[in-house]
Copies of this chain bind each other. A is one copy, B any other.
């Protein structure tokens, strides 16, 4: 058996590690979804949830809402459009904006998911995390807030005041 170097290196490889854990969680979530008959990628769920919660949103607002870059949102929206879960119309006041909203099929999927899928996933993840004491979500929030306040590159820089 070979040593897990990413684990051994600890903080040095935290990025790789979070990423691989996240991929694992998404893949497992995907499996739960398939077992419950939802034909959707796990990464597309947050888009539907955001639309359900916040009404019609533009592509850019969706990108913000799910926390990814705009081109990723454009792509996912196209896929959801293709699958007929969302509807797109150009904003009348500003023809650059494209307003994305749930179709009735999309709303049905959300309703079903909220009832049958999400509680199960949430419970499973919570069970996975809750065994141990400290609140991991607080940790992650702190990490994200910390990154927003000062990127690693700045933290790594000896003279922290002025940077490129």
Q: Which A residues form the contact surface with B (CB < 8 A)? A: 1-26, 28-29, 31-32, 35, 42-43, 45-46, 49-50, 53-54, 57, 61, 64-68, 118, 120-129, 131-144, 146-147, 151-153, 155-157, 164
Shortest beta-carbon distance from A124 to chain B in Å: 4
The 3 closest A-B pairs by CB, nearest first: A134-B134, A19-B22, A15-B25
Instruction: Give the distance in Å from the alpha carbon of A128 to the alpha carbon of B125 in the complex.
Output: 24
* Chain B residues positioned under 8 Å from A152 (CB to CB): 25, 28-29, 31-32, 121, 124-125, 128
Q: What's the nearest-Cβ distance from chain B to residue A57, in Å? A: 7
**Is the pair B146, A12 in contact by a Cβ cutoff of 8 Å?**
no
* A20 touching B22, Cβ below 8 Å: yes
How many angstroms between the C-alpha atoms of A138 and B17 in the bound complex? Answer: 13
Q: Are A35 and B153 in contact (CB-based, < 8 A)?
A: yes
5 A-B interface contacts by CB (under 8 A)? A3-B65, A5-B65, A17-B22, A21-B143, A129-B143
In angstroms, Cα B19 to Cα A19, docked, is: 4
Q: Quick check: A17 and B121 within 8 Å, CB to CB?
A: no
Check if B11 sits within 8 Å of A126, measured CB to CB: yes
A19-B22, A121-B156, A151-B31 are contacts. A136–B139 as well, Cβ < 8 Å?
Answer: yes
